[in-house]
A and B are shown apart, each in its own frame.
Chain A
Amino acid sequence: GAGVSQTPSNKVTEKGKYVELRCDPISGHTALYWYRQSLGQGPEFLIYFQGTGAADDSGLPNDRFFAVRPEGSVSTLKIQRTERGDSAMYLCASSLGTGEETQYFGPGTRLLVL
Chain B
Amino acid sequence: GQSLEQPSEVTAVEGAIVQINCTYQTSGFYGLSWYQQHDGGAPTFLSYNALDGLEETGRFSSFLSRSDSYGYLLLQELQMKDSASYFCAVTGDTGRRALTFGSGTRLQVQP
Contacts and interface: CB of A to CB of B under 8 A. Distances in A.
B43 interface: yes
A91 B45 contact: no
Q: How large, as a class, is the contact surface on chain B?
A: 20 to 34
A45 B100 contact: yes
B97 A43 contact: no
Contacts, number: 56
Contacts of A105: 35, 42-44
Given A100-B30, A100-B31, A100-B50, A107 B41 contact: yes
B104 interface: yes
B97 A31 contact: yes
B42 A42 contact: no
Contact of A106 (B33, B42, B94): B42
A103 B45 contact: yes
Given A41-B104, A42-B89, A103 B99 contact: yes
Interface of B: 4, 30-31, 33, 35, 41-45, 48, 50, 87, 89, 91, 94, 96-104
Given A45-B98, A91-B43, A102 B48 contact: yes
A31 B99 CA distance: 13
B97 A42 contact: no
Contacts of B94: 100
A40 interface: yes
